[in-house]
Amino acid sequence: MSSLNQIPRRIILGPGPSSAHPRVLKALSSPVMGYLDPDYFSIIEEVEGLLKDTFKTSQRAFAIAGSGSAGMEAGFSSLLEEGDKILICENGHFCERMVLMAKRLKLNVLTLNVEWGTAIDPVQVNEILKQHNDVKMVSSIHAETSTGVMNPIKQISEISHQNGALFMVDCVTSLAGSEFRFDDWDIDYAYSGSQKCLASPPGLSPVAISNRALSTIEKRKTLPSSWYLDLSLIADYWGIEHKAHHTAPVNMIYGLRESLKLVFEEGLEVRWKRHKKLASALKKGLISMGLSLPINSKIALDQLTVIEIPDGVNDEEFRLNLLRKYLIEIGRGLGRFQGKIWRVGLMGESCVPANVFALLQAFEELLSQTGHEFKKGDSLATASKILSETSPLPY
Amino acid sequence: MSSLNQIPRRIILGPGPSSAHPRVLKALSSPVMGYLDPDYFSIIEEVEGLLKDTFKTSQRAFAIAGSGSAGMEAGFSSLLEEGDKILICENGHFCERMVLMAKRLKLNVLTLNVEWGTAIDPVQVNEILKQHNDVKMVSSIHAETSTGVMNPIKQISEISHQNGALFMVDCVTSLAGSEFRFDDWDIDYAYSGSQKCLASPPGLSPVAISNRALSTIEKRKTLPSSWYLDLSLIADYWGIEHKAHHTAPVNMIYGLRESLKLVFEEGLEVRWKRHKKLASALKKGLISMGLSLPINSKIALDQLTVIEIPDGVNDEEFRLNLLRKYLIEIGRGLGRFQGKIWRVGLMGESCVPANVFALLQAFEELLSQTGHEFKKGDSLATASKILSETSPLPY
């Protein structure tokens, strides 16, 4: 078999992973340490502190050794027991994954299904919770990358608690890219991914957990089916006593630590603004190219832009040309959106002006070959103007 | 909080993780790629081929995004269904972990308990299987790092199949360090860890799975409780169609690929010999220092040596001195062996002559301060002689 010795050049503007910061990549290659070494404990204590600041919580935060989906599964399997009733707010592909997981765990699953491309309406959540007074937990996705929609997490959380339910949220794509306040929004469990706005490689799921959720776990009647993803065992390893659990992914943690340091060198709120500003430049550039962005701008994500594939353009051919001619990766549509949309991510280290220009220029070139009509150069001028309007960003 | 900016120097000679090869560390820091990028698929196809050669199988092999314990849990939860009967061969701490996991998954668990420090007797496995003709799977650990014992996997596998059961084996510590033959030994599922004899950082669990086991999964009546660790979904992502599952840990896979290339540059069988030769030098050096190695040499592991803590030596103080004065990490005793033994690993990149000498010299120094009597210098001379006796090894 031939070997791809050189990792190829890429501008990764898909739904994730996004590029990692060079300092993060360098940190990954530091020598391995033992996962029970007292100096390694100092490192994870530092990571815990930085994660708490990123989640904006004074409760517990740590990182699970797996992707964001591992964080999702850890939540369902640790916080609920077989037969417990859960309400899953369902408006996208990753919400569907929540349903798949919850059913495998034999939870009693209620769903609030709303049309893909629209946001969850907290009023509807309330209605269902009034009908079912035994819902143990509500779950929702903050930034749904399959549809590019932001859900009103704060309101859903409030309604969940008013009805006596815990609230779990997927912030895989939002953490460190959009406003997220674990304590203020009274969230019980939130899981993210290292590979999106945190600008680390994929492989870790940073999570935050409330004291209320931890005490729910303590009161379980049965042990969670998963030992590997048992939040209480993972919390104990990250806790004061550092009780041994599985071998920790030491080098990935070095990378995460560096990425979190970078978040606070830039400033968390400044980073949110960076994602907003660059998204605005990209979106307006795409619109001035005559493309349609189907998600209502009031609920559209910053870090992921959904574009309707124009008539007469071959989805796969276009994305392959983008990859092979311009070294740019974007995302395809998932599920019912397959063949209908493209998804362009601007997250973490991928969220820089050069990438906005590269994407717009490549789109202009490739779309002009398909007969799609627009005035060449407009999209870059539009984006450029927006990026020049505000003060420089410290990245 | 103070930040440990520099990763400290370490000679890691514990039960794992062990050091990673510099080329592996460098590979980790390559740019992130999309996990659905066609060029990334070429990389995982190459990794699959190299893993098959490492496991010595012509069936399927891939890497799970988690530690060896994730590989363990994936096996139990994917290959068996609630209520299925399993026989767990139990002679160490990690076998106990198997029992914990299997019980959480509501399997019907039988155990064959033998004294820690001794090996599983295949005759006893046979007796139990004759008494219970409905055992679906037998599981055992090849190299038990809590006791330093090698179990007769080939024979247990044969007896399992004679009695109509599948056979699953933990080769976390043995793969690429000791003889292991997945196909010849007719194993159904084997999981390993990246961080031991493979000389990669912790975080991946390379696994091999038989066609028989895959067909068992296909015939399941219920879905496994875990979506994240569902072997059939992971196999589908690594398979010809590369069906999307969770986001893959791209950079860790770069590292694993490099470590597997190194295995075959050295030669797999030569690598087994290296572990045997250096273990012999270490063990004889320790014995000539008057230390007792309690495990019978016929079943003692090469990659992990168990040492009885001499009378009058404070376990924790000794290990802390070793770490702080000589930057050497060794392992403590686990469970019933706590405070009674030390565990010294020589695995992968940690398995080099310099580390044998460093360990012996540091032990000589620290033990002489405790009043333990022996002739100084003998242990190094003994080890040195063994290492000089055979032809140079190409590492």
Render pLDDT for B155-180 as a digit per residue (tens, 0 to 9): 999 999 999 999 999 999 999 999 99
Reply yes or no on whether the pLDDT at A364 is more than 50: yes
- Tell me how far apart the terminal alpha carbons of chain A are, to the nearest angstrom: 41
Rounded-to-10 torsion of CA A65, A73, B76, A223: 100
Ranges of H-type helices in chain B: 22-28, 38-55, 68-79, 93-104, 122-131, 153-162, 211-218, 231-238, 250-266, 268-287, 315-326, 353-368, 378-389
- B255 vs chain A: nearest CA distance in angstroms? 10
Is B252 close to A203, i.e. CB distance below 8 A? Answer: yes
A389 confidence band (pLDDT: 50, 70, 90)? confident
Query: Is B268-389 in the same CATH topology as B22-265?
Result: no
Query: Cβ–Cβ contacts within 10 Å for residue B4, how many?
Result: 16
- Which residue among B30, B73, B250 sits closest to A227, beta carbon to beta carbon? B73
Residue B115 DSSP code: -
Query: Which residues does residue B138 pair with via DSSP β-bridges, in sequence order?
Result: B87, B167
Mean pLDDT within A359-376: 95
Contact B17 A247 (CB under 8 A): yes
pLDDT tens digits, one per residue of B333-344? 999 999 999 999
Residue A392 pLDDT class (50, 70, 90 cuts): low
Q: pLDDT for B98-128, tens place per residue?
A: 999 999 999 999 999 999 999 999 999 999 9
Percent of chain B with pLDDT over 70: 98
pLDDT (tens digit per residue) in A82-99: 999 999 999 999 999 999
- B197-231 pLDDT, tens digit per residue, is 999 999 999 999 999 999 999 999 999 999 999 99
pLDDT at A1 over 60: no
Contacts of B7 in chain A (CB under 8 A): 30-31, 33, 254
* Mean pLDDT, range B8-37, rounded to an integer: 97
Considering CB atoms only, which of A17, A247, A250 is closest to B247?
A: A17
Q: Is the dihedral of CA B304, B310, B316, B321 positive or negative?
A: negative
The continuous run of DSSP H or E covering A367 comes out as helix A353-368
DSSP B291-332: ----S-TTTB-SSEEEEEPPTT--HHHHHHHHHHHH-EE-EE
d(CA A209, CA A187): 8
The CATH code of domain A267-389 reads 3.90.1150.10
Q: Interior CA angle at A372 toward A368 and A374, to 5°?
A: 80
ipTM of the complex: 0.97
Do residues A129 and A138 make contact, with C-beta atoms less than 8 angstroms apart? Answer: yes
pLDDT tens column, B346-360: 999 999 999 999 999
Q: How many degrees, rounded to 5, is the angle at CA B181 between CA B178 and CA B183? A: 170
Pairing of strands B60-64, B205-209: antiparallel
In chain A, what residues touch B29 (CB-CB under 8 Å)? 25-26, 28-29
Out of A28, A30, A226, whose CB is closest to B226? A226
Q: How many Å apart are CA A141 and CA A151, to the nearest integer?
A: 7
pLDDT value for B392: 62
Chain A residue whose CA is closest to B32: A19
What's the pLDDT tens digit per position in A198-220? 999 999 999 999 999 999 999 99
Reply yes or no on whether the pLDDT at B238 is more than 90. Answer: yes
Q: What is the mean pLDDT of residues A94-118?
A: 98
Would you state the pLDDT for residue A33?
97
Are B20 and A32 in contact (CB < 8 Å)? Answer: yes
Contact B73 A29 (CB under 8 A): no
Residue whose C-alpha is closest to residue B33's, from A252, A16, A357? A16
Distance from CA of A267 to the nearest CA of B (A): 18
Chain B residues lying within 8 Å of A20, measured CB to CB: 31-32, 251
The reply to whether residue A46 touches residue B227, judged by beta carbons under 8 angstroms, is no
Q: What percent of chain A has pLDDT over 70?
A: 98
Mean pLDDT of A122-128: 98
DSSP for A247-299, please give it: PP-HHHHHHHHHHHHHHHHH-HHHHHHHHHHHHHHHHHHHHHTT----S-TTT
- What sign does the CA torsion over B375, B380, B383, B384 have? negative
**CA A178, CA A274: separation in Å to the nearest integer?**
9
Phi, psi of A353 (to 5 degrees): -55, -40
- List chain A domain ranges: 21-265, 267-389
- The pLDDT score that the predictor gives to residue A395 is 53
Fold of B22-265: Aspartate Aminotransferase; domain 2 (3.40.640)
Contacts of B1 in chain A (CB under 8 A): 45-46, 49
The answer to whether the CB atoms of A10 and B31 lie below 8 A apart is: yes
Q: Looking at the whole model, is its pTM more than 0.80?
A: yes
Measured at the alpha carbon of residue B147, what is the angle toward residues B146 and B151, in degrees to the nearest 5?
Answer: 110
**pLDDT value for B1:** 43
Quick check: B4 pLDDT over 90? no
> Distance between CA atoms of A31 and A42, rounded to whole angstroms?
16
How does the average pLDDT of chain B come out, rounded?
96
Q: Which CATH superfamily is domain B268-389 in?
A: Aspartate Aminotransferase, domain 1 (3.90.1150.10)
A257 with A50: CB under 8 angstroms? yes
User: What's the CA gap between B17 and B15, in Å, rounded?
Assistant: 7
CATH entry 3.40.50.300 includes domain A21-265? no
pLDDT of residue B5: 78
* B80 close to B86: Cβ distance less than 8 angstroms: yes
pLDDT (tens digit, 9 = 90+) per residue, A130-159? Answer: 999 999 999 999 999 999 999 999 999 999
Which chain B residues have a beta carbon less than 8 Å from that of A202? 32, 35, 247-251
Q: What is the mean pLDDT of chain A?
A: 96
Residues paired with residue B110 on neighbouring β-strands, in sequence order: B87
